[in-house]
Homo-oligomer: A and B are copies of this chain.
Amino acid sequence: MSKGNYLGEFEIVVLSTLLHLGENAYGMTIRCEIDEHTGRSVSIGAIYATLRRLERKGLVVSHLGEPTAERGGRAKRFFALEPAGEDAVARSRAMFARLWNDLPEARG
């Protein structure tokens, strides 16, 4: 873990999205949820690159699902938060809360 391990901005977004999705969180649904929730449409490669990084850090785990013989398509890789991942989001969230709580409302 070395010294200053803070999450990047998009890492926070992805982790928070995993919190929302719970069960079937995989590349496509994550991407979709981010788009709907934040209006941010990002390429699928960016999602996977970030997920892989988060997994290397131990904040997320993934497993390949059964090759669902539905309509064609490759087996999905599902992602879930590790406890360390939940902690990391909570820390970032708390930090921004400290930074923002005593400022006037954002008009977003």
A residues apposed to B, CB below 8 Å:
4, 6-10, 12-13, 16-17, 19-20, 37-38, 40, 42, 89-100, 102-103, 106-108
Contacts and interface: CB of A to CB of B under 8 A. Distances in A.
Contacts of A4: 40, 42
A97 B90 contact: no
Contact of A99 (B17, B42, B94): B17
Contact of A13 (B38, B93, B99): B99
Nearest to A13: B99
B12 A96 contact: yes
Given A4-B42, A108-B91, A37 B96 contact: no
A96 B96 CA distance: 9
Contacts of A40: 4, 6, 95
Contact of A94 (B16, B42, B98, B108): B108
Nearest to A34: B99
